[in-house]
Structures are given as C-alpha cells and as structure tokens.
C-alpha cells in the first residue's frame, strides 16, 4: 500500500478547523474487517426522456458483471391530473381519462425497456409506480431490496430537473441503498463503467466508515481499486504582530494530524479485500482537497457518505459531500448510512 502526502495551507481559519483538529483520529483495531455488500438488485428510475435513459447502459453493464436484476421504474403522480383554473375555487376532480391514458403509456414504456434488456441477456423487470417521486422510489427500493440506484444527473426536463432541485436532496436522505450518479457528456450515452480507483473520503467518524462495506462491494463488483483519503485541516494560530486576521498553521499539530491520519487509513486499508492505497492532503478547505484528489487521472469515481447529524459528520460528510456532488465531473456513489450501520461500525 502506498501513501501520499500533500500540503496546501491557504485562506482563513474558520470553525471547521476547531472541529477537525479536535476529532478523534485514534487508529482502529487492525482485526476489524469489512464485509462487502454485493450487488444483486439494481433500480433505474426513468421519466421517458432520452437523458434519463442514459443510465440504462451503465446499469446493464453492472448487471452483466454481477448477474443482478435491473428494475426499470417510472413514477406516475396522479396529483398532476387534478385540473386547476386560476381565479377559481380548486375542485379536486381528477381527469381520469387523461390519467388512464398516461398510465397505459407509461406501463407500456417501462415494459418495452425491460423486454429490450431481457433480449440482451440481462435479467430485468419493468414497474410503474404511483405517488410522489421520492416516496414511491424509496418505498419501492425497500420492497425489492435494492442494492443500488443508478440514475443520471444534470438533466433539463422531467425527473432530471426534479432531481436537480430539492427532490434530489430529499431522495438522498431517504434512499435505503447507495445511489450511483452518472454524468453523461453531450449526446453520447454513458456506456463506460468507471476504471482505476474509487476515491473514498473519510473523516474519522463511524458515520463515514459506514460507507466502506457499500463502497467495497461496488469496487469488487466492478474490479476497481480503492483510495482512502483524509483531509487534515490545519489548526491555525493568530500572528499577533500582524493583527487578528493573520493566521499561521501550527506545524507540530499538523504533523501529528497527518501521522495519525496515515496510521488510521493504513489500518483500515489492511481490512479491505481489494487493492487499496491511502492518501492524506492538508488544506484549509475539505471540498477543495477532495476535488483536487478526484481530478487525478487514475480516479474513476468518488464514494461518499452524506447527511451526518452532529459535529464533524455534519460538516464534512454532509455539506462537503453535497458540495462535491455539485462540482465534480466524475460519477459519484452516494449513500446515507442508517443509524444501525453507524452504531455497528462504532462498536467494532
């Protein structure tokens, strides 16, 4: 296993410094092992647009490698068929004929997609769900025991536009399994699976570590290596002669952080059953450091836990994960670990 050290100290100090430098970087027991969660059931949400359908080649490629079943899903929201005339009292009378026509068309569409995948030798099923997008998808993912949701981002119509707004955050908060977000470029379909290494940013918390079984299973399924990555944020001290705004990194504290982080990551890497390297970067901004590491040519995707609840988990693995998602051009594997997984990880 190789280790990389990179420093970048710039910008001003903020409250994140205090939280990061006070985090417990005590190495975990080397006897700890992660049981990879393999892929058997894939969920692909479609909205009828060509853009959303670009997730299908990726899901198909994953299914061919793993033998997983692809569940092609479209969501029909009946509330969209309640007419409303501005200036008049809203009478909740559903346009049943229009709804029935849309239901029939959507059922035919998902059935046709599933049949085309079956014809290519992939196990596939088509499903039409009814209800609001987030609730319907989250509940159905539980029903089929989905191991992965595969979908596109940066679309401009239908489901893509919805996912880019508030619904995207809501779904990631409720998704019971990892969501693999692919980013097709231009008109070309996203046919290529990621290659090289999977970048896994960690912050020393059980919350972040709970991503590792999911990330490991994904890496094993696709034949990827893993790169465990931590950002050491300097604990800056004031330079009194130059005013309160002038700050200087505490070199001794920074060196200790880097050494502890390397030790911890190496202990984790020793328990992961795929080729794994570790890297520690020093930067005043976690998002910037992660994006710079992700830009390396040998990094094929990023895997991050998101939406922590307290302290460092909320700041680094919540807001930073969201910032990386909005900025990075590479695919992302995003997951919100449930409380039981975090507790189990903490107990190890």
**pTM across the whole model:** 0.79
SS3 63: helix
Q: Is residue 188 part of a domain?
A: no
Q: Minimal CA–CA distance to 333: which of 125, 164, 193, 160?
A: 193
What CATH number is attached to the domain comprising 94?
A: 3.40.50.620
State the residue range of the domain holding 21: 3-37+194-347
pLDDT band at 336 (very low <50, low <70, confident <90, very high): confident
**Burial environment of residue 340 by CB neighbours within 10 A (0 to 12, 13 to 18, 19 or more):** exposed
Does the pLDDT at position 78 exceed 50? yes
Split at pLDDT 50, 70, 90, the class of 96 is confident
pLDDT in tens, 6-25: 554 433 333 233 333 333 33
Given 162, 182, 202, the domain boundary residue is: 182
At residue 299, does pLDDT exceed 90? yes
What is the pLDDT at residue 66? Answer: 93
Q: Are residues 166 and 290 in the same domain?
A: no
Same domain, 239 and 336: yes
Q: State yes or no: pLDDT of 203 exceeds 90.
A: no
Residues 166 and 223 in one domain: no
């Amino acid at each position: 296993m190789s280790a990389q050290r990179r420093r970048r100290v710039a910008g001003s100090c903020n409250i994140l410094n205090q939280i990061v430098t006070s985090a417990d970087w005590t190495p975990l027991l080397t006897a700890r092992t992660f049981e990879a969660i393999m892929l058997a059931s894939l969920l692909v949400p479609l909205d009828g647009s060509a853009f959303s359908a670009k997730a299908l080649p990726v899901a198909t490629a994953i299914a061919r490698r793993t033998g997983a079943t692809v569940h092609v899903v479209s969501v029909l929201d009946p509330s969209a068929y309640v007419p409303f005339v501005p200036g008049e009292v809203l009478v909740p009378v559903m346009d049943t004929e229009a709804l029935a026509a849309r239901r029939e068309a959507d059922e035919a569409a998902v059935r046709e997609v599933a049949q085309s995948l079956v014809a290519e030798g992939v196990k596939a099923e088509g499903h039409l769900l009814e209800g609001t997008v987030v609730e319907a998808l989250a509940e159905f993912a539980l029903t089929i025991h989905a191991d992965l949701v595969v979908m596109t981002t940066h679309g401009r119509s239908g489901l893509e536009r919805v996912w880019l707004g508030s619904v995207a955050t809501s779904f990631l908060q409720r998704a019971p399994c990892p969501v693999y977000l692919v980013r097709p470029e231009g008109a070309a379909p996203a046919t290529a699976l990621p290659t090289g290494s999977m970048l896994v940013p960690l912050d020393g918390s059980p919350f972040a570590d709970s991503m590792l079984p999911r990330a490991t299973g994904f890496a094993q399924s696709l034949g990827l290596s893993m790169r465990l990555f931590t950002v050491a944020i300097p604990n800056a001290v004031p330079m009194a002669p130059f005013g309160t705004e002038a700050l200087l990194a505490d070199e001794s504290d920074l060196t200790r952080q880097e050494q502890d982080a390397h030790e911890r990551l190496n202990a984790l890497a020793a328990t992961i059953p795929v080729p794994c390297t570790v890297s520690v970067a020093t930067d005043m901004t976690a998002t910037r450091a992660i994006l710079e590491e992700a830009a390396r040519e040998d990094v094929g995707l990023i895997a991050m836990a998101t939406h922590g609840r307290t302290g460092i988990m909320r700041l680094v693995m919540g807001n930073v994960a969201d910032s990386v998602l909005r900025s990075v051009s590479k695919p992302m594997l995003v997951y919100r670990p449930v409380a039981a997984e975090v507790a189990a990880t903490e107990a190890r």
